[in-house]
Amino acid sequence: MKKLLSLVLSVLMLLGIGAAAFAEDADVSAFKIAAPGGAPALALATLAVENPDNYTFVAAEAISAEFANNASDFIIAPLNAGAKLYKMGKSTYKLGAVVSWGNLYFASQRENFTLEDMNGAAITLFGENTINASIALYVLEANGIEPASVEYLAGAANTQSLLLSDENAIVLTAEPALTAAKIKNEKITGIAVNDLYKNATGNDGFTQAALFIRAETIENAPEAVNAYLKLAEEAANKCTSDPDAVAEAAVALEIMPNAKVAKTALPNCAIRYMSAPDAREQIETTANIDLTQFGGEVPADDFYYGAE
């Protein structure tokens, strides 16, 4: 009986090793990946620079169309946008992992700029009726700050222009725009939204951008999907372990304007990989700040790839 049990265990071990090896050797070379051309794309930069024909970088406002096209195997996009489209039945893409945890900053040229300077002041945000604006307003309220007024501009590039032109302005901006602005004007200082978010929730950043997987790709190539997710995790981890390589790749791919901005901004972009099931609690914390951005409720079980 012991010999039989030993034989069974040996066979199972061999099968396990074989399955793992197959997963590692799975062909990911045909996968097509789409991402916005901003900070979240840094998570895959070292992969993209090796196979640039497989990667498409588009303007942030065009990323929702990638879900509708249903052509890319993987998409990096705002997590709330992917969740909302999935809930509405306008996307088959499931959540693979969270890769970006917030690159937002309040910034000003004001001397010794502090959080208290925003109390009773006029501030300018970007992206009205977006999750970024909702998070910004939430952290201010949670930290006891009540602005006198809130105005909106279209994007971080717009608030960056205001930041550079008006020495009294207080704006919401994002990396790498903040770093580029600081290089032009050393008087500019920033307050990380993530620091304020942690004060309010205890979490190190909000679930900002994610890696999504097309349902057909999951069905047709499950081993290759898992192999690519492993590569994506390794690439995202390089943002911390090998920032020089990521910065060089970002410049080569024109994700970042130059090496100086890339190397300075990268640590402030909060890029790290967390699988969908592991990130679920933090996703729901972010979603509950403004459920309208997630389609009215937290994502359902079937949205999470790899959930039991």
Question: DSSP character for 169?
Answer: -
Indicate the residue among 169, 201, 233 that finishes a domain: 201
Domain boundary among 139, 168, 201: 201
Q: Are residues 94 and 224 in the same domain?
A: yes
Q: Is pLDDT of 103 > 70?
A: yes
Give yes or no for residue 127 having a pLDDT over 70. Answer: yes
The reply to whether 17 falls in a domain is: no
Instruction: Tell me the average pLDDT across 133-150.
Output: 98
Q: Does residue 229 sit in the same domain as residue 190?
A: no
- Judge if 229 and 149 occupy the same domain: no
Query: Is 3 contained in some domain?
Result: no
- Whether 179 and 50 map to the same domain: the answer is no
Examine residue 308 and state whether it is found in any structural domain, yes or no. Answer: no
96, 111: one domain: no
Q: Answer whether residue 91 is part of any domain.
A: yes
Residue 41 is assigned to a structural domain of this protein:
yes
| DSSP states along 7-23 | HHHHHHHHHHHHHHHHH
Token pair recorded at residue 42:
């840094």
Q: What is the pLDDT confidence band of residue 308, given thresholds at 50, 70 and 90?
A: low
CA triplet 75, 180, 124: central angle to 5 degrees? 80
Q: Are 133 and 171 part of one and the same domain?
A: yes
d(CA 19, CA 218): 17
Q: 235 and 94 share a domain?
A: yes
**Are 219 and 294 part of one and the same domain?**
yes
pLDDT cut 70: percent of the chain above it? 92
Task: State the angle between helix axes of 276-287 and 79-87 in degrees (0 to 180), rounded to the nearest 10.
Answer: 90
Residue 76, φ and ψ in degrees, nearest 5:
-95, 130
Distances (CA, A) of 48 to 34, 35, 236, 262: 10, 10, 12, 16
Residues 213 and 97 placed together within one structural domain of the fold: yes
> Tell me, what's the pLDDT at 16?
40
Domain match, 108 and 197 both: yes
Residue 10: pLDDT over 80:
no
Instruction: For residues 232 and 236, give the distance between their C-alpha atoms in angstroms, rounded to a whole number.
Output: 6
Minimum mean pLDDT range among 12-21, 146-155, 179-188: 12-21
Strand 33-36 relative to strand 55-58, pairing? parallel
pLDDT at 6: 41
Section 280-307 average pLDDT? 96
pLDDT band at 166 (very low <50, low <70, confident <90, very high): very high
- With cut-offs at 50, 70 and 90, classify the pLDDT of residue 5: very low
8 Å CB contact between 34 and 58: yes
Write down which residue in 201, 226, 257 finishes a domain: 201
> In this predicted model, what pLDDT tens digit does every residue of 219-274 receive, in sequence order?
999 999 999 999 999 999 999 999 999 999 999 999 888 888 999 999 999 999 99
- Kind and range of the H or E run holding 136: helix 131-142
Count of domains observed in the chain: 2
Q: Are 260 and 182 in contact (CB under 8 A)?
A: no
Domain that holds residue 135: 104-201
In a domain, 23, yes or no: no
- Answer whether residue 13 is part of any domain: no
**134 pLDDT band (50/70/90 cuts)?**
very high
The Cα 125–Cα 134 span in angstroms is 10
Give the 3-state secondary structure of residue 150.
Answer: strand
